[in-house]
Amino acid sequence: MTRLNRRGFLGGAAAAFGGATLGAAAPFNILPARVHPAVVSSVNGLPYMEKALERLAEGDDTLDVCVWAVNQVENDPEDQSVGYGGLPNEEGIVELDACCMHGPSNTAGSVASLRNIKNPVSVARDVLLHTDHVMLVAEGALRFARSMGYPEENLLTEASRKRWIAWRAARSKTDDWLEPGEKFGTGAPRPTGKRETGTINFDAVNGKGEVSGCTTTSGLAFKVPGRVGDSPIIGAGLYVHGKVGAAGGTGRGEAAITACGAHLIVEEMRRGAHPKDACLEAVKRVVEMNTIPYLLDEKGRTTFQCQFYAVDVKGRVGAASIWPSPYAHGDGDGVRKAQTASLYE
């Protein structure tokens, strides 16, 4: 493989995102048999799939398309799990996490604990394009975003602020602080309250079999400040390999991190598994590794939810979760909502 120097790659890549495709500037291009463009995501990506498929058919770069799709959710104040209007941490401050991976170049970018910037996934893409790093966090991520021209704004909407005030007034065992010895003790499951863990993962393949993906979130509602879940972690909330496929997840981030969920899915697809079956293997791994007493019910079943989504370079998609859950996907037959394969009924 011809090695590009950093200046040449960054210059070409930046131009690619301005109009041409990033694939044209990538070190190598994967060209499997022709496939029909396909997309898969958490259900909140459904409204943007038709346009995403149109852009893929027109030749837009797969990462451009994924970033565009999740930007729409980040900008929607009604979605309180992502971007603007996301539910804040326990101090009432919105902290955002995101990452992206570009299959044709096998490159990645990520930001975590980013405040005051509406579109963290766009910042993550700029980390990919303009630095030799993969992840920037907290104040460093914010300074980088400022340097790239992103405006700062208050991300806490009035609706989210009211949700936070209500949670704060009623908090007790619905927060993230444990009693001494509780993690390794016995007893009834912890009450979960209304602790949203929603996110959006969006993965795509184009007609040449090129894949990319993005994951972005405001994280666990009312989390401990500085908490980072799986969404910005390469290999946990997202993983892409240009010769295999893309996968990502939503749900309890701590569980996806310890199981290396997205990486496991891509490795299963590398061995020949269908994306649905690969996602189900990641779900089984999450459940296998969850031995925390307060996260098990009286039957020994995992009480939380994790969902995984995947697409391979052949254009096949699939999804699986611990408990039944909807997801969205689109291909030559249109866009639709479907039910994940699930471990529990």
Tell me the mean pLDDT in the region 52-68.
97
Residues paired with residue 109 on neighbouring β-strands, in sequence order: 100
User: What residues act catalytically?
Assistant: 199
pLDDT at 183: 74
252-298, pLDDT tens digit by residue?
999 999 999 999 999 999 999 999 999 999 999 999 999 999 899 99
192-212, pLDDT tens digit by residue?
544 555 699 999 999 999 999
For residue 104 the two structure tokens come to 């044709």
d(CA 46, CA 40): 9
Task: Give the gyration radius of the chain's Cα atoms.
Answer: 19
C-alpha angle 181-185-189 in degrees, rounded to nearest 5? 115
pLDDT band of residue 5 (cuts 50, 70, 90) is very low
Confirm if 253 and 289 have CB atoms less than 8 A apart. no
pLDDT band of residue 9 (cuts 50, 70, 90) is very low
Q: Could you say which DSSP state residue 79 is in? A: -
Handedness of CA 154, 134, 127, 202 (dihedral sign): negative
100-139, pLDDT tens digit by residue?
999 999 999 999 999 999 999 999 999 999 999 999 999 9
Tell me the mean pLDDT in the region 308-330.
97
Measured between its terminal Cα atoms, the distance across the chain in Å is 48
Q: What is the mean pLDDT of the chain?
A: 88
pLDDT at 197: 57
Helices in the chain by DSSP H: which ranges?
A: 6-18, 49-57, 62-74, 120-130, 138-147, 158-170, 253-259, 261-270, 275-289
